[in-house]
Amino acid sequence: MQSWKLREIATPGGSRSPVVLRSDPGARAVLIVLHPGQALGDHQVKEGALVTVIDGSVRVESGGQTVEGDAGCFFSFEADERRSISSENGARLLLVFSPWPGEGHYRGEKGP
């Protein structure tokens, strides 16, 4: 068994210093902190993504929808779904990507 105290892990660079907690072919778990005013701008990834707000609050935009979420909120995104996540006052997030890496994650990777 492995365990982590997500509120106690240092991330001194905010979104510039994500902490990979675990990574295997099934999934990758990453802890990231958004300092006040920081954002994960409009983006998409090749994996499905689950995002949990551990502390703080966020604004999530995806598919024409905007949702405000605070500690305890949980978001789910399909692979290649575009989204942005921003925080006016700061937030601590747990992101889980699955499978890891998703098909096409690495440039030049060919599909089946």
Residues 49-92 pLDDT 10s: 999 999 999 999 999 999 999 999 999 999 989 999 999 999 99
pLDDT tens digits, 7-46: 999 988 888 889 999 999 899 999 999 999 999 888 888 8
- Predicted confidence at residue 30, as pLDDT, reads 95
Find how far residue 94's CA is from the centre of its chain: 6
CATH assignment of 18-98?
A: 2.60.120.10
This prediction has a pTM of: 0.85
Give the separation between CA 100 and CA 7, rounded to whole angstroms. Answer: 24
Give the separation between CA 79 and CA 12, rounded to whole angstroms. Answer: 29
Domain ranges within the chain, ordered by starting residue: 18-98
50 vs 106: which has the higher pLDDT: 50
